[in-house]
Amino acid sequence: EAGVTQFPSHSVIEKGQTVTLRCDPISGHDNLYWYRRVMGKEIKFLLHFVKESKQDESGMPNNRFLAERTGGTYSTLKVQPAELEDSGVYFCASSQDFRQPQHFGDGTRLSIL
Partner 1 sequence: GDSVTQMEGPVTLSEEAFLTINCTYTATGYPSLFWYVQYPGEGLQLLLKATKADDKGSNKGFEATYRKETTSFHLEKGSVQVSDSAVYFCALSDRDDKLIFGTGTRLQVFP
Which positions touch partner 1 (CB under 8 A)?
Answer: 3-4, 31, 33, 35, 37, 40-45, 48, 56, 59, 91, 93, 95, 98-99, 101-107
Residue whose CB is less far from partner 1, 65 or 107? 107
- With b for 16 or more beta-carbon neighbours within 10 A and e for fewer, the 34-60 pattern comes to bbbebeeeeeeebbbbeeeeeeeeeeb
Report whether 58 contacts 7 (CB < 8 A): no
Residue whose CB is less far from partner 1, 30 or 81? 30
Residue whose CB is less far from partner 1, 55 or 81? 55
Positive or negative, the CA dihedral 82, 88, 94, 97 is: negative
Give the shortest CB-41-to-partner 1 separation in angstroms. Answer: 6
